[in-house]
Amino acid sequence: MEATATSTRHDTRVLSLIGSGHFLSHFYQLSLPPLLLVWRDAFGASYAALGIVITLFALSTGITQIPVGILVDRIGARLILVLGLILEACAIAAMGFASSLNELYLLAVIAGIGNSVFHPADYAILNSSINSGRMGKAFSLHTFAGHLGGALAPATIIFLVALYDWRTAVMITGITGVVCALIIYSQGGVLRDEHSASKKTKANIGSEKKISTVQLMLSKRMILFFMFFMLASLTSNGVSSFSVIANVKIHEITLISASAALTAYLVASTSGILIGGVIADKAKEHHIIALISFLGSAAVFALFALLKLPEIMVIFLFAIAGLLQGILRPARDMMVRAVAPKGSIGRIFGYVSTGIALGSGLAPVFFGWIIDQNETIWIFWLLSAFTVGGAAIVLAQKRLGLD
């Protein structure tokens, strides 16, 4: 009983440290868009030029996740996590001193590089630090912390700008990240990764490391997971970016109702992440959870394309789709963990997370183009197709014996 309590306290401590960093990762990402409003006056630039700041942040994050994953596997996750958070936080704080748009561009690239450490390092630490019987809940709480940071970012940064000014606001948030990094560093002894394992385990890791990064990336199972993450990202970003416009045009509901549907989706998705963590720990066949989540979402999105629905039904069905998409996340991470060779967690999660970044980058352009062509109905058909594609990938993974 005492051992169980000690284990629970240990896992809670690990999750608090890792979750705080992931919270700030998403917080920084979503604190930048509201600043475009004040940056336009401060720098006299167009929104298109200012939008490049966000694009550079996202691109540098996506491009550097795989190299960071390699470093995580070679030298360990803890130091990289701390250094990445300090780099990102300092870059965000330094934006408060920027005197030109070009300086913001450079700092966005640096911040994005710092931001790239979280998925490779966090998953490597969670995999080695958390009791395996609670891994599903650990993955769900990790994801939840990131979502929470993103949800609180816009209101927080706007509040700080109103209270002080935008330069002070970004400096405060940046300094907060540095403090958090120092706390993580000071408590680092509780954060284990495969490099802090026993000698026997290290010997086993050494034999597994014969698999090169290129071999991993080009293997069927990892290509499938990359596509899995990309399709899931295309779906979630398509919903969050353009579902409001699509519902107003197709179902002829009010903007308030369409926004309420999106809010219902996001709230249900966040709740689904927590529910999915509990399910993932109890389930043995994680591919079944993923199949139900994907096919259920596909059916919902197809209904939006086939039928003209009343406002209350739109909101209800969006909540169902969000819940299913949330439940998917922990099962997805457990599936990746189940097939990761020893010593490769950092590289694998860095690689598949690049699929998330690619989906995030493609979705706004792709779905925006469809709306420009006045083919808004295809928003929902494509969301349905993406989720069916995700289900097909899960079946292919099962045939390869991935879960």
Tell me the pLDDT tens digit for each residue of 234-271: 888 888 877 888 888 888 888 888 888 888 898 899 89
Instruction: Tell me: do 256 and 308 sit in the same domain.
Output: yes
In a domain, 282, yes or no: yes
Instruction: Tell me: do 191 and 225 sit in the same domain.
Output: no
In a domain, 361, yes or no: yes
Residue type, 147: H
In a domain, 206, yes or no: no
49-56 mean pLDDT = 85
* Domain count for the chain: 2
Instruction: Tell me: do 186 and 318 sit in the same domain.
Output: no
In a domain, 281, yes or no: yes
Instruction: Tell me: do 60 and 30 sit in the same domain.
Output: yes
357-370 mean pLDDT = 81
Instruction: Tell me: do 261 and 373 sit in the same domain.
Output: yes
In a domain, 345, yes or no: yes
Residues near 64 by Cβ (< 8 Å), separated by ≥ 6?
112, 113, 116
Reading the block at residue 232, the tokens are 């899931």
126-136 mean pLDDT = 86
Among 201, 232, 265, which residue terminates a domain? 201
Instruction: Tell me: do 83 and 225 sit in the same domain.
Output: no
Instruction: Tell me: do 230 and 332 sit in the same domain.
Output: yes
pLDDT at 196: 59
Instruction: Tell me: do 247 and 172 sit in the same domain.
Output: no
Cβ-contact 134, 281 below 8 angstroms: yes
Residue 116, domain CATH: 1.20.1250.20
In a domain, 207, yes or no: no
Among 201, 224, 245, which residue terminates a domain? 201
Calculate the average pLDDT of the chain.
Answer: 86
What is the per-residue pLDDT across 315-331, written as a single tens digit (0 to 9) for each?
A: 999 999 999 999 999 98
Instruction: Tell me: do 286 and 368 sit in the same domain.
Output: yes
Which of 9-23, 36-50, 132-146, 300-314 has the least mean pLDDT?
Answer: 36-50
Burial annotation 285-300 (CB, 10 A radius, 16+ → b, else e): ebbebbbbbbbbbbbb
What is the per-residue pLDDT across 292-318, written as a single tens digit (0 to 9) for each?
A: 999 999 999 999 999 888 899 999 999
Identify the domain containing residue 91 by its residue range: 2-201
Checking if the pLDDT of 134 tops 50, the result is: yes
Residues near 317 by Cβ (< 8 Å), separated by ≥ 6?
300, 303, 304, 309
In a domain, 208, yes or no: no
Residues near 340 by Cβ (< 8 Å), separated by ≥ 6?
127, 348
Residue of 205, 212, 181, 216 lying closest to 81 (CA atoms): 181
Instruction: Tell me: do 217 and 186 sit in the same domain.
Output: no
Residues near 258 by Cβ (< 8 Å), separated by ≥ 6?
243, 244, 245, 247, 248, 314
In a domain, 186, yes or no: yes
Among 172, 201, 230, which residue terminates a domain? 201
Checking if the pLDDT of 332 tops 70, the result is: yes
Instruction: Tell me: do 221 and 153 sit in the same domain.
Output: no
Cα within 13 Å of Cα(77), Cβ side: 34
180-198 mean pLDDT = 76
Instruction: Tell me: do 163 and 253 sit in the same domain.
Output: no
Which of 44-48, 351-355, 379-383, 388-392 has the least mean pLDDT?
Answer: 44-48
100-124 mean pLDDT = 93
What is this structure's pTM?
0.85
More confident residue, 195 or 24: 24
